[in-house]
Amino acid sequence: MIGKNIVASAYVENVEESFVAFAVATGEALEYKFFNASAKNIDEAVNAAKAAHQVYKKINKHLKASFLRTIAEEIEAIGEVLINRASAESGLPLARLTGELGRTTGQLRLFANLVEEGSWVNAIIDEAQPERKPLPKPDIRRMMVPLGPVVVFGASNFPLAFSVAGGDTASALAAGCPVIVKAHPAHPGTSALVGGAIVRAVEKMGLPKGVFSLLFDSGYTVGAALVAHPEVKAVTFTGSYKGGMALVKLAQERQQPIPVFAEMGSINPVILLPEALDERAEEIASTYAGSITLGAGQFCTNPGLLLAIQSPALQLFINKLVDLIKVVPSATMLTPGICENYQKLSQQILEEQGVELLSVSDALNDAAKNQALASVAKVTATAFLANPKLQEEIFGPYSLLVVAEDLIQLLQVVNVLEGQLTTTIMSAKNELSKYTDLLNRLTDVTGRLILNGVPTGVEVCAAMQHGGPFPATNDSRFTSVGSTAVYRFVRPLAWQDWEDELLPDELKKSNPLNIFRLTDQNWSKA
């Protein structure tokens, strides 16, 4: 079945144009043909999702949790073929993909637990006061309800964890929304394998088939048509600023505008405080040589900007970083386009006023294609402040060190920073408390503040925030990682003076689901 579009959990035949996948490290064509989805496929997928929504939106929470867990099991059951195909298509090493698979199934189970526990619906109850003067108070009960069909765009840099059954799909299904996935054309085989796992889970659980569709396209037509479809209620995307904003624009131009959650990347500033450098300049350089080049730098949390005040210790940091970057083995990038773009941008940046190359890897693997060589450049804060172009993300194993003359100039740089997914501070013990102005400013431009760590490696948990002020994401009020990602796909609905037996179980007087509810400002299971 691999290669066929999946419409409402069923494989369909296409006669449209087809395409194949390539092993990015060798350039060789891989097995299976994939078919660009037709306008009919799109319409049927969305309409089936709309119909499924009428059932799935009020499905029993245990069944929904089992569905998510079954998807995880079905993915695990695919075995080595999945990791191997993902590695061929993405160029990512097997070890990384094995870890990513664990993250993917872990996310599905996290949302299963969230759904089964049930309190995530944020039930709020204000009981009636019939005797209140001058007017009686009605009984009002409110909870989150799902928006409807969600379109998920697979991301190139996480072929498992942010693709067909990744965090977006898991959180949308957890919210109670049917999902239509637009597969990323760089890893269609991986997408097809995971899509098959979801189809089997839908069948095993006896769910309405329209709860899942998977459509392929080597271009942009299918994605644009999905976003424009009147019955689609929300869209998720992880990728470039240009791609994200194009979808945002399409969604706003609809007769009924819908939310798009676009995670568009970030340069994730890392501020190296002076005492930290005095204490452990070389250790920090080691840590960051690793973070900058992890996964060929292809993370939205890649530390693309290092910021420090000039000092002898900073020179030690630079020397160590230069040495380490030089020997980082080249790595296969996700696609030829991403690789070309990285090579072009990491060269072009050196032509900008005051930017100088610090170090570039000379460990090229000649035997493989689409190789990225890690590189680090340096610029003065004065030049950085004068050139907004230096804040643009260069997707790959790259970072720019900005050297300030003093704390005042460092604060000036922080003041011009655009919105970021993360900001990290490397600090000595008791040093951080001397920088309250800096910290105060950072809270306005960041989604996550990290102390003495690295931004890469995003913990999947309830407290995670992966979403920052524009342009890191288009809507900083939501996260795409962690259990609160579910709130992207719901809205509140209130029932006033409703009959108890017709209320959703979450709101019934007896609290039959035994969930936490906010009654008179008290979270309790009463």
Q: Which positions are annotated as active-site residues?
A: 263, 300
Q: Which 338-377 residues touch its own copies, going by CB under 8 A?
A: none
C-alpha 369/C-alpha 430 separation (Å) is 47
Minimum CB–partner distance for residue 339 and its own copies (Å): 28
Tell me the three state secondary structure of residue 391: helix
Peptide bond just before 471 cis, omega within 30 deg: yes
Q: Quick one: which of 426, 421, 423 has its CA closest to 442?
A: 423
The values of phi and psi at residue 204, to 5°, are -60, -35
Give yes or no for residue 492 binding its own copies (CB under 8 A): yes
Interaction pattern, residues 422-441, with its own copies; x per rule: CB under 8 A: ----------xx-----xxx
C-alpha 333/C-alpha 398 separation (Å) is 13
Residue with tokens 């050196």: 350
Output 196 or 482, the one with its CB closest to its own copies. 482
Long-range own/partner contacts, residues 513-521 (CB < 8 A, 24 or more apart): 513/61, 513/118, 514/118, 515/117, 515/118, 515/119, 515/121, 515/123, 516/119, 516/123, 517/119, 517/123, 517/124, 517/125, 518/122, 518/123, 518/124, 518/125, 519/124, 519/125, 519/126, 519/127, 520/126
Q: Quick one: which of 352, 286, 275 has its CA closest to 309?
A: 275
CB–CB of 424/268 below 8 Å?
A: yes
Tell me the three state secondary structure of residue 52: helix
- Tally of CA atoms within 13 A in the half-sphere of 327 that contains its CB: 5
Minimum CB–partner distance for residue 428 and its own copies (Å): 11
The rounded Cα 296 to chain-centroid distance in angstroms is: 17
Quick one: which of 13, 206, 499, 510 contacts its own copies (CB under 8 A)? 499
| Sole window of 122-130, 181-189, 323-331, 358-366 interacting with its own copies (rule: CB under 8 A) | 122-130
Minimum CB–partner distance for residue 502 and its own copies (Å): 6
CB–CB of 397/296 below 8 Å?
A: yes
Give yes or no for residue 57 binding its own copies (CB under 8 A): yes
Quick one: which of 142, 184, 187, 320 contacts its own copies (CB under 8 A)? 142
Give yes or no for residue 301 binding its own copies (CB under 8 A): no
Q: Which 384-423 residues touch its own copies, going by CB under 8 A?
A: 419
The values of phi and psi at residue 19, to 5°, are -145, 165
| Sole window of 15-23, 110-118, 165-173, 373-381 interacting with its own copies (rule: CB under 8 A) | 110-118
Minimum CB–partner distance for residue 248 and its own copies (Å): 8
Peptide bond just before 134 cis, omega within 30 deg: yes
Give yes or no for residue 107 binding its own copies (CB under 8 A): no
Output 140 or 385, the one with its CB closest to its own copies. 140
Output 364 or 494, the one with its CB closest to its own copies. 494
**Which amino acid would we find at residue 456?**
T
Output 385 or 439, the one with its CB closest to its own copies. 439
Give yes or no for residue 148 binding its own copies (CB under 8 A): yes
Interaction pattern, residues 87-106, with its own copies; x per rule: CB under 8 A: ------------x-------
Q: Quick one: which of 14, 115, 104, 106 has its CA closest to 59?
A: 115
Quick one: which of 8, 145, 211, 308 contacts its own copies (CB under 8 A)? 145
DSSP character at residue 172:
H
C-alpha 513/C-alpha 115 separation (Å) is 11
Interaction pattern, residues 440-479, with its own copies; x per rule: CB under 8 A: xx-xx-xxxxxxxx---x-x-xxxxx-x-xxx--xxxx-x
Give yes or no for residue 221 binding its own copies (CB under 8 A): no
Output 433 or 510, the one with its CB closest to its own copies. 433
Q: Quick one: which of 47, 41, 48 has its CA closest to 4?
A: 41
Residue with tokens 């002076």: 274
Give yes or no for residue 131 binding its own copies (CB under 8 A): no
- With CB under 8 A as the rule, give the number of residues binding its own copies: 77
Output 3 or 447, the one with its CB closest to its own copies. 447
Quick one: which of 6, 49, 124, 374 contacts its own copies (CB under 8 A)? 124
Output 118 or 354, the one with its CB closest to its own copies. 118
Q: Which 229-268 residues touch its own copies, going by CB under 8 A?
A: 248, 252, 256-257, 259
Quick one: which of 2, 30, 59, 140 contacts its own copies (CB under 8 A)? 140
Minimum CB–partner distance for residue 419 and its own copies (Å): 8
Output 204 or 441, the one with its CB closest to its own copies. 441
Quick one: which of 62, 137, 389, 509 contacts its own copies (CB under 8 A)? 137
Output 138 or 336, the one with its CB closest to its own copies. 138
Within 10 angstroms of residue 525's Cβ, the number of other Cβ atoms is: 11
Q: Which 16-55 residues touch its own copies, going by CB under 8 A?
A: 53-54
